[in-house]
Amino acid sequence: MAAPAFAGATERNMKIAFIGLGNMGGGMAANLAKAGHDVRAFDLSEEALARAVEAGCTRAASAAEAVTGAEAVVTMLPAGKHVAGVYDGDVFPNAVPGTLLLDCSTIDVATARANIEAATARGLVAVDAPVSGGIAAANAGTLTFMVGGTDEGFARAEPILAKMGKAVIHAGGAGAGQGAKICNNMLLGASMIATCETLALAQKLGLDPQTFFDIASVSSGQCWSLTSYAPLPGVGPVTPADNGYAGGFAAALMLKDLRLAMEAAESVDADVPMGSKARELYEAFVEADKDGRDFSAIIQTLQG
């Protein structure tokens, strides 16, 4: 099979395989199709695949079929073992040299680096490009991408990622995207807990939550978890708290990222007491919560 003509490929409509059409991947694939790319989509869920087809993607019968003839392959899968399995079983046997691989999953740094190393050895160009933003941003095309890989890989990936996001940032070499993502979400998880316990304390001290929001949002305690994602209904901008904590970023996904952060911290002997406590609290919350609620719902465990 002849290699695709990659020169200038990201400046025109491309044949893109998209594997993994869940809550995040579905909206991302739809935005690539909306931008005019020929998106060959695959997911184990027939329902998810049907939604992708309705959004303008082409149905692939398997991951291998999606990859065959594709100029770029985007994966959005639950964990490192799933990405490695798809790469070994479907991508590497069917992608021709020069094909661009963009893994947008959130996985461990070691697996991301191993995947990129294996891809490079086969003449492929690979980047790790995890996202920040949640389901609404995936659907709206306003995600932030943190990209790890070579300068060449980033240059080729950036125009594709830009069709799905508002910001595409080169974090560094292989695995740097995953490193940035888990550090960012460790900060988010810890700051959300601090925001929740602060709002709970303010209420117990007799402060009106909106009044406290108005004060803290313009004072030294200001943070994104408060000003953009306030965990109390009716306080600040509309957030999942105003919808019974449905949608947004599931607490189970926050826990996944905190566990990855703790694994990474251990690998480099980093001291992360706040991150460790956040992991502990979210483990207890997720175990008790059976509704898959947003991670900001943890405030309800602090209001008693």
Q: How far is CA 258 from CA 27, 166, 178, 243, 276, in A?
A: 24, 25, 12, 25, 8
Enumerate the active-site residues: 181
Q: Do residues 101 and 135 make contact, with C-beta atoms less than 8 angstroms apart?
A: no
Q: Do residues 191 and 224 make contact, with C-beta atoms less than 8 angstroms apart?
A: yes
For the four alpha carbons of 40, 46, 52 and 55, in that order, the dihedral sign comes to positive
Residue 271 burial (CB < 10 Å; 0-12/13-18/19+)? Answer: exposed
Backbone φ and ψ of 196, nearest 5°: -65, -45
- Nearest 5°: the CA angle 31, 143, 288 is 110
Q: Do residues 226 and 213 make contact, with C-beta atoms less than 8 angstroms apart?
A: yes
